[in-house]
Structure 1
Amino acid sequence: MTVIGLSGFAQSGKTTAALYLEKKYGVRRKHIAEPLRAMLAVLLKANGMSSEMITRYLEGDLKEQVIPCLSVTSRYAQITLGTEWGRNLINPDLWANTWGVGIGEDESVMNDSVRFPNEEAPIKDAGGFTILIKRPGTKPAKFKWGWIGAKLYDWFGALWGAHDSERTDRLQPDYIIHNDASVEQLYLDIDAAIRDWEEHGRSSAPKNVQFGLATMALSRI
């Protein structure tokens, strides 16, 4: 059984990494947003949208486009449904607990969009590890302080004004991959992280083992 969590901003390489882990290591993607998409799909269907268009808006090429009947993008709808409604109004552990339901005892799974520390917990409790992927040029998808938060990030790299679901600085990843080179290098870094985990595990491996930075070196800090 292998349990892995991936985190990082949109376009950082999480999906590319997840597809690689799925293909090479047989780790099934169990996206934590699956219930959110299912809830939104019901809403969009009630508004007369076809199944094909629902899929395009929720998971496909229209994910960053405004949904006419909602007047917001799919990404915005999922972020606020997950955080402002689910976490803040219902239960902070709602999505983390839901994600852990239905995982087979010997099944290898991954959450390819870890956003909060309590979403790391079920992964680590199951003996798994987490990887934060950083890519130059990517940034939070939503800021709670509007343009002020965006400017703080652009000028200083500060995440104080970012939406809570974008606060990667609050996470405690076991590995950080700087996705600043080729896709092939990203794959090599993922392989290196898995080898390191198999050799060391959490008992002896410090957090924030870093790969990348346009090199093939592994740096323990």
Structure 2
Amino acid sequence: MTSRIIGIYSPAPQSGKTLASNVLTHQGFTRLSFAAPLKRMCIEFLMMLGYSKAAALEYVFTNKEVLIPEINQTPRHLMQTLGTEWGRNLIDNDVWLTIFEQTSKEFDKIVVDDVRFPNEAEKIKQMGGEMWKVVRPSASHNGAHSSEGQLDSWNGFDHIIYNDGTLVEFREKVDAVIKGAKGEE
């Protein structure tokens, strides 16, 4: 049923990929995430530690860098190690892709704004999708986990969108690419 899939990668936080994803959702795209199963698992884990659902959601979606006192780890660390060390390395390198492929069947137009690994980008392309890279020259990338920076030198991007101007200019660039105009390459 899926007619259009757009995967978005950005090498740095605050690059504009969330804004690009928001623009797409306003154009009728459904936002899916490779990390959605991890987030659900972490929320359940935090609730088992005694946190309310609201507090667990706050940790997973807002306070990713705040230490969880009971385990002396951050939610970001939980999600990264659950996704990579457990899911990808111990279970199957494509475990999250299998879940994504099943979930994506329900939707016509999809945007995935958390593409981090080459096999994720390649899966989107195999499904007939496009890969976009959002670059903000002024943003810095300091991630040390193996899930960060995997696509920095990947050469399969269909569009590279530079977020180097105003918010309005960036939205116009995203709109132009959505409408099929040639992206900045």
**TM class, shorter-chain normalised?**
0.7 to 0.9
Could you report, residue by residue, the CA deviation over 1:31-69 in whole angstroms, capped at 9, with x for unpaired residues? 111100111111101100011111111112x12222222
Q: How does 1:64-213 map to 2 (within 5 A)?
A: 64-104=65-105, 107-143=108-144, 163-171=146-154, 172-196=156-180, 209-210=183-184
2: CA distance between counterparts of 1:10 and 1:100?
A: 26
Deviation at 1:3, TM superposition (A): 0.6
Deviation at 1:131, TM superposition (A): 0.8
Among residues 13, 19, 23, which one is paired with 1:20 in the alignment? 23
> Once superposed, what is the RMSD of the aligned Cα atoms?
2.0
- 1:140–1:184 Cα change, 3 Å: same
1: CA distance between counterparts of 2:50 and 2:115?
A: 32
1: CA distance between counterparts of 2:89 and 2:107?
A: 33
Which residue is 1:206 aligned to?
none
> Which consecutive residues of structure 2, in runs of 5 or more, have no partner in the other structure?
none
2: CA distance between counterparts of 1:17 and 1:168?
A: 18
Deviation at 1:134, TM superposition (A): 1.3
Paired residues of 1:79 and 1:165 also in contact (CA < 8 A): no
2: CA distance between counterparts of 1:11 and 1:83?
A: 23
How many residue pairs end up in the alignment?
181
The 10-residue stretch of structure 1 (27-36 or 81-90) with the greater mean CA deviation from structure 2 = 81-90
Paired residues of 2:59 and 2:66 also in contact (CA < 8 A): yes
1: CA distance between counterparts of 2:135 and 2:128?
A: 24
Query: Which letter does structure 1 place at the counterpart of 2:112?
Result: N
Secondary structure of the structure 1 residue equivalent to 2:80: helix
- 1:139–1:74 Cα change, 3 Å: farther
Query: Which letter does structure 2 place at the counterpart of 1:16?
Result: L
Deviation at 1:166, TM superposition (A): 2.5
Higher relative contact order (CA 8 A, sep 6+): 2
Paired residues of 1:10 and 1:141 also in contact (CA < 8 A): no
Paired residues of 2:5 and 2:130 also in contact (CA < 8 A): yes
Deviation at 1:165, TM superposition (A): 3.3
TM-score of the superposition, structure 2-length normalised? 0.88
Segments of 4+ moved more than 4 angstroms: none
Q: Which has the higher helix share?
A: 1
Could you report, residue by residue, the CA deviation over 1:164-220 in whole angstroms, capped at 9, with x for unpaired residues? 4332224322111111212211111112222336xx8xxxxxxxx52xxxxxxxxx4
> Which consecutive residues of structure 1, in runs of 5 or more, have no partner in the other structure?
145-162, 201-208, 211-219
1: CA distance between counterparts of 2:16 and 2:73?
A: 24
Which structure is larger by alpha-carbon Rg, 1 or 2?
Answer: 1
The 10-residue stretch of structure 1 (70-79 or 101-110) with the greater mean CA deviation from structure 2 = 101-110
Query: Which letter does structure 2 place at the counterpart of 1:64?
Result: E
Among residues 34, 56, 67, which one is paired with 2:58 in the alignment? 56
- 1:76–1:180 Cα change, 3 Å: farther
